[in-house]
Structure 1
């Protein structure tokens, strides 16, 4: 019996200082804080929220969730 390979989802949570609070252009990409890689969107949101709330008083700090599985398999 052949097993179907299920699609793996991966989410990267990262953040850093941005050049403009309305954009996601990071001022110093080499110094980005990588909070981690998560297998569910819910755990990624939890990590994003905790990091974003920790830096809420700094308008130039921004955390984002990157859908890695979409980058790894653009046809999905």
Structure 2
């Protein structure tokens, strides 16, 4: 197994109500839901999907996956 396969790639899942459906500005910053930090994209995606599906009745509610590993190491090339 290659060393790159074990490299930690942190992802943050968070969300909240948006001001506008076409934007990314949150209505209330104090009400942002921090779902958690995950060690890989697959587990972050699973958490994102679960939370997004639970709030499907609120059209203004959006959840995002932020690639923290790209912020921590901006020289790292995107994985294809």
Per the normalisation by structure 1, the TM-score is: 0.85
Structure 1 segments (4+ residues) deviating >2 Å: none
Q: Name the counterpart of 1:48.
A: 48
Superposition CA RMSD, Å: 1.8
In the aligned structure 1, how far is the partner of 2:71 from the partner of 2:30?
20
1:15-56 per-residue CA deviation (whole Å, 9 max, x = no partner) reads: 001111122211122221011100111110110000000000
Partner of 2:35, secondary structure, is: strand
Q: Name the counterpart of 2:30.
A: 30
Unpaired segments ≥5 residues, structure 1: none
Aligned length: 73
Per the normalisation by structure 2, the TM-score is: 0.81
Unpaired segments ≥5 residues, structure 2: none
